[in-house]
Chains A and B, each alone.
Chain A
């Protein structure tokens, strides 16, 4: 514990888990449920991830760094470090309309990047494509989803 700092002070300075929970818990549970089929296990994983987040917040607070997560994408990347790697062959994008608009390859590339955070080079090797074509596919997938989910 740092000089002149009580435990209560430190706990209060942990990133506001309640705020993050209110904003992202639904998204996080939806995300985890795509990787872990069993709902109760997925819920337990979500609890563990928030707990790890609090630990990291506490650690960073003591080293005077900023909190670790400020956006959904940061939370997704953080969560992936605690989640098992699962090959998602059939994407389960919520709306069927998205599936209809995305080609099989676009779905595949997006899912590998989104749920496994694999590098472009690794995806290229896995799908036997060039890195440029993977980037291009990822870009197209984003464009299609933006069109369907965007404002």
Chain B
């Protein structure tokens, strides 16, 4: 088969759209591996589709990314296989859990991660607490030294007073 004719047949467009049959797909993938021009043509078509999509794009409203991140933040994977080195009790719990959730591999629960997500506005609060902490520490050291100096002066004066008497 002439490769140019194959590229011009419209099979590549059908494949990119996801409309090609299994036989066509299998043949195309073989030819793609063999002929770089087929791979290039496919890449071009993918780029064309992306340009079309860009022309029809609609910007999502602000805050959508945060909603997505919140939605995926609590995902926890429940592994199918149980590591053999876990204690028997854990294995038992896991097996029971699998029975209940046989058809649902993923569950959404509050994450047990040791990390926490907080609003960015808190950074200013933390910065203020840090700065105030430093100021109070400075004052505390200053007044401690001042107090110690005052005590020494009093002690000295008392000694002088005793000498005068």
Q: Mark A122-151, 1 if CB is under 8 A from B, else 0.
A: 010000000010111011001001100110
Report the number of A-B residue pairs with Cβ-Cβ less than 8 Å: 154
Interface assignment of B18: CB less than 8 Å from any CB of chain A: yes
Whether the Cβ atoms of B79 and A121 lie closer than 8 Å is no
Question: In the complex, what residue of chain A is closest to B79 when comparing beta carbons?
Answer: A1
Q: Name the contact of A76 in the complex, choosing from B53, B67, B69 (C-beta under 8 A).
A: B53
Q: Name the contact of B71 in the complex, choosing from A51, A114, A135 (C-beta under 8 A).
A: A51
A96 to B69, CA, bound (A): 36
Interface assignment of B17: CB less than 8 Å from any CB of chain A: yes
A41 to chain B, nearest CB (A): 13
Q: Name the contact of B68 in the complex, choosing from A6, A17, A138 (C-beta under 8 A).
A: A17
Chain A contacts for B10, CB-based, 8 A:
132, 134-136, 138-139
Q: Mark A96-137, 1 if CB is under 8 A from B, else 0.
A: 000000000000000001100111110100000000101110
Whether the Cβ atoms of A120 and B14 lie closer than 8 Å is yes
Whether the Cβ atoms of B21 and A121 lie closer than 8 Å is yes
Chain B contacts for A18, CB-based, 8 A:
65, 69
A51 to B70, CA, bound (A): 9
B107 to chain A, nearest CB (A): 11
Interface assignment of B39: CB less than 8 Å from any CB of chain A: no
Chain B contacts for A1, CB-based, 8 A:
77, 79
Whether the Cβ atoms of B18 and A26 lie closer than 8 Å is no
Chain A contacts for B114, CB-based, 8 A:
8
Q: Name the contact of B46 in the complex, choosing from A71, A95, A134 (C-beta under 8 A).
A: A71
